[in-house]
With several copies, the nearest count.
Chain A
Amino acid sequence: MKLFEHEAKTILAGYAIPVPKGALATSPGQAKKLASQLRPPFAVKAQVLIAGRGKAGGIQFAHTLDEAENATKKILNMEIRGLKVHKVLIEEKVQVRKELYFGITTDRSRRCYVALASASGGVDVEEIAYTTPRKMIKTLIDPTIGFRGYHAREMASKIGYSGKLMLKLAAIYEKLFKFAMENDVELVEMNPIVETSDGTFVAADARIIIDDSALYRHPQYSQRLISDQKTELTLQEIKARKAGLAYVELEGNIGIMGNGAGLVMATLDAVQLYNGSPANFLDVGGGASESQIDAALAILLADDKSSAILINILGGITRCDEVARGILATRNKVGFTKPIVIRLVGTNEDEGRRILAEAGIHVLDSMEEAAKKAVELSRG
């Protein structure tokens, strides 16, 4: 689960990590008023849960209160990669001597947390990590030892600091690790963390992703997980999550559901292979009940941009008769408002097919055949 920049900064400040002085505004007037409490120049920053806002104009600088008001007005009228901006963070602009990077995330292959530091921070850090990985200093973290002062100092030293500045920077690294462990982060990064012209360090931008699997022990985050507008999820995605379904919205016009993440991904791939375009990814999971199938299908039917639906079930723990009954339940309630292709094999297949056949619904055997058919139907 992603946190907004302003949330991230508030949390880091709670761990005594220096962040720029600032406040959150939802209107130009409020921004102006808040700016009057700050020392110019100001930075006005769109609060969106998406990367690339800088390039999209979502960060602007202002020297006067009026400029801050105007910048806020512009940004609040903006859509960044399709997302409306509801809030801006207005801050004292940091006086940069040097932009650095520091982050903590997991290393899937080494099966541990890893700390990453770089002497060059900012927008291109992912590019640097990808193209010249040796510029990224990496420390694997043994969970039985943790990330200690000496690990932090070693990293701060390797990116070129010594003396008091090295100690200051290392102390911030250590605090970030403490935060990361106490909050089960999947990723936390200060990018950039800035060395200011007066020799201090400030987390000028911060990004936090909390491990979704650990949200149950962090009620302060989990309570907002499925509240509208507070997360990166679309309304459809929130609806699906509330129903316990894994759902991702896509751009195409064929609604797709199936059981099992890999199978659904493969179904999407098959649709594309036959030159179709998936409208979504919807995994009902293992052993879905009639009502879950019903809920899932209802979500697909409600998606305006799709012109056909493909259901791909390979029954293992999932029982085909439950699936059949779920499909009928939806039809009885809302009707089939668009063409639906169903592939249904596996556990209790005969019973499932019988139920659907009695209702006049035809069922296919092969996933590839079904994908081909769905692509045809989506063309109308």
Chain B
Amino acid sequence: MGIIVGKETRVVVQGITGTQGSFHTRLMLDYGTSIVAGVTPGKGGTEVHNVPVYDTVKEAILRHDVNASIIFVPQPFAAEAALESIEAGIRTVAIITEHIPLRDTIDVLTHAKRKGATIIGPNTPGIITPGECKLGIMPSHVFRHGTVGIASRSGTLTYEIAVELTKYGFGQSTCVGLGGDPMVGLSFVDVLKMFSKDSQTRAVVLIGEIGGIAEEQAAEYIATKEFSKHVVAFVAGRTAPSGKRMGHAGAIVIGRAGTAKSKIEAFKAAGIGVAAKVSDVRKLLAGGIQEG
């Protein structure tokens, strides 16, 4: 099980002939992901790692059974690539590309909502259901099949935490990178709703960071909707100054809004354990799982 992606996921890679697209197609294939087609305009008819390449997503869909897309297309064309998949009826689209203009992201997310498509990213490492499907660029070896769901706004920090969890026996159901851009397709709340219904997931780790109010909304959701699974939170950026983007376009404190302090307080007020450092995550998880 797990959420969003699994054994039944059949992927088209948009931008498959580029350096990143081709490299990660191989890694995803190695992991066992069903990559059935690639798309690069003008490269139709060729192959990448034995995966047939088409000029358009529509053509790929006409010839293959596709239900997910992953986008490695360069920034100026990435949003349009997402629209192409959405319009073609693909229901799961992971946008790896970062720095997509806000206006374009808004367009993509608006049309995705209308068509009922789930957008992961932009600026995401993707999503992995260990042992079933990797739709992303994360190093596979840090993940193990298990019962902890992870939703994170950060790539490497997720790997850091996953390494620890795996080492101490906490395998993962699904790990979702929400994306580091200011506006992304999935919120913590969206993912919590999915984990709530997923029988494999028994506990959830939320990896937040400064900027926005997604963590506060998650805390409120957990508190008021009686989310029944154990949750541990980590928030990066306690030391970040106001008005500066900390690497991610979305990681910014504006005035008094979006601070780590506000997020940590919200989590604590909702009764959620907040890890002060990476190694605390597994400790809090262990405590909760023993309790639960």
Interface residues of A (CB under 8 A from B): 51, 106, 108-109, 111-113, 126, 130, 142-145, 148-150, 153-154, 157, 162-164, 166-167, 170, 181, 184, 186, 211-214, 216-217, 246, 248, 250, 258-266, 268-273, 278, 281, 283, 285-286, 314-317, 345-347, 366-368
Contacts and interface: CB of A to CB of B under 8 A. Distances in A.
Nearest to A162: B44
A268 B238 CA distance: 8
B190 to A, nearest CB: 11
Interface stretch (B63-71, B149-157, B191-199, B221-229): B149-157
Nearest to B152: A262
Interface in B242-274: 243-251, 255-257, 260
Interface string B66-78: 0000000001110
A320 to B, nearest CB: 12
Interface in B117-167: 125, 137-139, 142, 152-160, 163
Contacts of A157: 44, 55-56, 59
Nearest to B100: A213
A164 B159 CA distance: 40
B91 interface: no
B221 to A, nearest CB: 12
B41 interface: yes
Q: Which of B55, B104, B153 has the most CB of A within 10 A?
A: B55
A176 B77 CA distance: 19
B183 A346 contact: no
A345 B164 CA distance: 12
A263 B212 contact: no
Contact of A150 (B84, B207, B239): B84
A51 B101 CA distance: 25
B101 A269 contact: no
Given A143-B110, A167-B42, A316-B138, A269 B237 contact: yes
Given A130-B255, A214-B103, A258-B156, 10 more contacts: A109-B187, A145-B83, A213-B101, A217-B76, A248-B245, A260-B157, A262-B152, A265-B237, A269-B238, A286-B137
A316 B159 contact: yes
B156 A347 contact: no
